């Protein structure tokens, strides 16, 4: 084995031991890709074995109905470099990738699609970038081979939005071909369609991120599992991420401030109306301002208490999992013994 990307064993920040006994784990989510699989396995194996690194391929079958699972199981019994993880039903690409990460033993983890749209020949280039000291290297499909209107346009807009909102400027978040240091992934939990936000999540965890152009081929077999409806789900996840990035450890800063502002404005209007009623002796029952004052006071109290609840939840989130609110890259100290 060659010089490692990370130490042989690293304790994750949350105390869990991340055992890394191989150089590379290649994680592939698979749903109905039986025609591509033989070619894919060959391509990955030949690329990586040329580099003398120890590796494993983890194919996660995500509820396929075309025989992919059977093929993978049968292959895994004969090839020593393949681990087949078969999920009970279809959970979606994010969950499939997460299952793969949980079974990975590599110091570096590479993800790619099963449909041969990503080119396994790019894996060594990504790994070389990791060796330069990055924690995450993202592929950029600079000549993307997908339908212009239904895929490329929404993706352009999404990339622009994600870049601006998350602050991680990449050209192509949707590209599955990425390489990570195992320790960075160990700190992250995935939900929804969050796999495309892994760079943003990693950035929240303090990772060093870069991108490099990679090849992209048209789909040869089967068809894409996604349509336009994905755009909406991605946008919702983007909202979650942007909130998490800014306020995860301090929800009161946003809810408390809004609530306070609302309460103060409501109180001022209320005092004014009291003055009008008691001193000037005018009727205030029919004034829209009265409704506004009441509304501001009520929402203010709600926002404020919501902020307090969010603070409690945030503390539970961190403390129950032993998740610190920071991530240490390394600790350097002169050994005393």
Binding site for ligand UDP (CB under 6 A): 29-31, 33, 62, 90, 92-93, 96, 113-115, 117, 224-226
Distance CA 170, CA 184 (A): 18
CB of 6 to ligand UDP, least distance (A): 27
The structure tokens listed for 43 are: 């391509």
Comparison of 65 and 316: residue with beta carbon closer to ligand UDP: 65
Using the contact rule CB under 5 A, the part of the chain among 34-42, 106-114, 159-167, 196-204 near Mg ion is 106-114
Comparison of 115 and 172: residue with beta carbon closer to Mg ion: 115
Please tell me whether residue 62 binds Mg ion under the rule CB under 5 A: no
Task: Note whether 33 and 115 are within 8 A (CB).
Answer: yes
Please tell me whether residue 118 binds Mg ion under the rule CB under 5 A: no
Comparison of 117 and 262: residue with beta carbon closer to ligand UDP: 117
Comparison of 29 and 256: residue with beta carbon closer to ligand UDP: 29
Which does residue 29 touch among ligand UDP, Mg ion, none (CB within 5 to 8 A, set by kind)? ligand UDP
Distance CA 262, CA 326 (A): 32
Comparison of 20 and 68: residue with beta carbon closer to ligand UDP: 68
Which does residue 237 touch among ligand UDP, Mg ion, none (CB within 5 to 8 A, set by kind)? none
Q: List alpha helices for the chain, DSSP H.
A: 37-49, 68-78, 93-103, 123-131, 153-166, 182-186, 198-204, 229-247, 252-278, 288-320
CB of 32 to ligand UDP, least distance (A): 7
Which does residue 118 touch among Mg ion, ligand UDP, none (CB within 5 to 8 A, set by kind)? none
Output the CA angle 47-53-57, nearest 5 degrees.
65
Which does residue 33 touch among Mg ion, ligand UDP, none (CB within 5 to 8 A, set by kind)? ligand UDP
- Give how many residues touch Mg ion by CB under 5 A: 3
Bridge partner list, 110: 26, 179
Please tell me whether residue 111 binds Mg ion under the rule CB under 5 A: no
Determine which helix (DSSP H) or strand (DSSP E) holds 136, and give its type and residue range: strand 136-141
Among residues 113, 122, 187, 237, which is the contact residue for Mg ion, using CB under 5 A? 113
Comparison of 88 and 334: residue with beta carbon closer to ligand UDP: 88
Comparison of 18 and 86: residue with beta carbon closer to ligand UDP: 86
Task: Note whether 175 and 141 are within 8 A (CB).
Answer: yes
The b/e string for 113-143 (b: 16+ C-beta within 10 A; e otherwise) is bbbbbbbbebbbbbbebbeeebbbbbbbbee
Task: Note whether 33 and 68 are within 8 A (CB).
Answer: yes
Task: Note whether 208 and 138 are within 8 A (CB).
Answer: no
Using the contact rule CB under 5 A, the part of the chain among 109-117, 268-276, 303-311, 313-321 near Mg ion is 109-117
* Nearest residue to 23 (alpha-carbon basis) of 99, 112, 130: 130
Per CB under 5 A, residues contacting Mg ion are 113, 115, 117
């Amino acid at each position: 084995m060659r010089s490692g990307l990370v130490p042989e064993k690293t304790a994750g920040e949350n105390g869990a031991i991340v055992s890394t006994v191989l150089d590379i784990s290649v994680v592939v989510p698979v749903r109905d890709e039986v025609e591509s699989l033989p070619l894919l396995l060959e391509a990955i194996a030949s690329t990586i074995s040329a580099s003398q690194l120890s590796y494993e391929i983890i194919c996660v079958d995500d509820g396929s109905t075309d025989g992919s699972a059977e093929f993978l199981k049968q292959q895994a019994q004969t090839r020593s470099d393949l681990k087949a993880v078969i999920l009970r039903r279809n959970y979606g690409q994010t969950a499939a990738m997460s299952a793969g990460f949980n079974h990975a033993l590599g110091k570096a983890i590479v993800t790619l699609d099963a449909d041969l749209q990503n080119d396994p020949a790019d894996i060594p280039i990504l790994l070389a970038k990791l060796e330069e000291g990055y924690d995450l290297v993202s592929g950029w499909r600079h000549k993307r081979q997908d339908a212009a209107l239904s895929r490329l346009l929404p993706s352009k807009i999404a990339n622009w939005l994600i870049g601006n909102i998350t602050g991680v400027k990449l050209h192509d978040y949707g590209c599955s071909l990425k390489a990570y240091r195992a320790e960075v992934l160990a700190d992250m939990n995935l939900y929804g369609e969050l796999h495309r936000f892994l760079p943003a999540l990693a950035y929240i965890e303090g990772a060093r991120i870069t991108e490099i152009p990679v090849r992209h081929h048209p789909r040869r077999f089967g068809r894409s599992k996604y349509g336009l409806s994905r755009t909406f789900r991605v946008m919702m996840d983007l909202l979650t991420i942007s909130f998490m990035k800014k306020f995860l450890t301090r929800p009161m800063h946003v809810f408390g401030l809004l609530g306070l502002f609302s309460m103060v404005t409501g109180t001022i209007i209320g005092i004014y109306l009291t003055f009008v009623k008691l001193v000037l002796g005018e009727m205030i029952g029919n004034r829209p301002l009265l409704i506004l004052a009441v509304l501001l006071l009520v929402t203010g109290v709600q926002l404020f208490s919501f902020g307090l609840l969010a603070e409690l939840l945030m503390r539970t989130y961190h403390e129950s999992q032993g998740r610190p609110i920071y991530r240490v890259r390394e600790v350097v100290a002169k050994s005393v013994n």
